[in-house]
Amino acid sequence: MILQSGPIHLRPLVLSDAPALQELRAANRDYHRPFEPLRSDDQFTLAFQEEQIRNNLLDSERDKSYIFGIFLREEDRLIGRISLTSVFRGPWQNANIGYFMDFRFTGRGHMTLAVKLAVQYAFFGLKLHRVQGAVMPRNIPSIRVLEKAGFRYEGLARNYLHIHGVWEDHNLYAITSEELGYAPEDPV
């Protein structure tokens, strides 16, 4: 499955993507550090990326999460990752969205396109009703991505996630399928 828009496409990461993912994570380690949990050195190894991809593929089979690489279409170059995690069925029909991009490709609209594609997949492919994201208030570029993708601000969650050694507040954003003109069937 490939989802595409403009200069990018999304597709599930597979084991052969592990070297590119390892390079991406290592090259962006310092750039993303203020916005991520503390990570040990082993989390930037090829073996760790391979294990993550294996786990992600199993989670997709179990309808728990869906992890995509963000690729430049012309070069098929991995420039980021986007995820729909904590998929919840039943009366909620919800997933959390998370993403990161190579700092060398930020500010070009690629992430906004990727978020829009992931949301469309969540609603039309997975038949979810809601996608939510949480962003630290100081992460203005990430907030702009969600807002441009149609997410609305829902409130502030105090001490929400342990990021870089500190419990950080996060702004909560969400979008529902009705906001894209799609009403899924009643959950079973």
For residues 95 and 103, give the distance between their C-alpha atoms in angstroms, rounded to a whole number: 26
Domain coordinates in residue numbering, the chain: 3-180
Record: fold of 3-180: Aminopeptidase (3.40.630)
**pLDDT at position 41:** 79
In this predicted model, what pLDDT tens digit does every residue of 94-118 receive, in sequence order? 999 999 999 999 999 999 999 999 9
Q: Maximum CA pair distance of the chain?
A: 45
What pLDDT sits at residue 7?
95
Token pair of 178 as six digits: 């009705």
Among residues 67, 38, 31, which one has the least CA distance to residue 166? 38
| CA gap 126, 15 in Å, rounded | 23
Instruction: Give the pLDDT of residue 184.
Output: 66
pTM: 0.92
18 class by beta-carbon count within 10 Å (0-12 exposed, 13-18 middle, 19+ buried): buried
Q: Given this model, what pLDDT does residue 169 score?
A: 95
Q: Which of 88, 89, 114, 87 is nearest to 99 (CA)?
A: 114
Environment class of 41 (CB within 10 Å of its CB; exposed 0-12, middle 13-18, buried 19+): exposed
10-residue averages of pLDDT along the chain (188 residues): 90 96 92 78 89 96 97 94 96 95 94 97 95 96 97 96 91 94 69
Instruction: Give residue for tokens 């962003």.
Output: 135
**Is residue 123 classed as helix, strand or coil in its secondary structure?**
helix
Q: From CA 144, how far away is CA 122, in angstroms rounded?
A: 20
Say how many CA atoms lie within 13 Å of 80 toward its Cβ.
Answer: 27
- Whether 2 contacts 9, CB under 8 Å: yes
pLDDT at site 39: 81
**Predicted pLDDT of residue 18:** 97
Q: Are 143 and 150 in contact (CB under 8 A)?
A: no
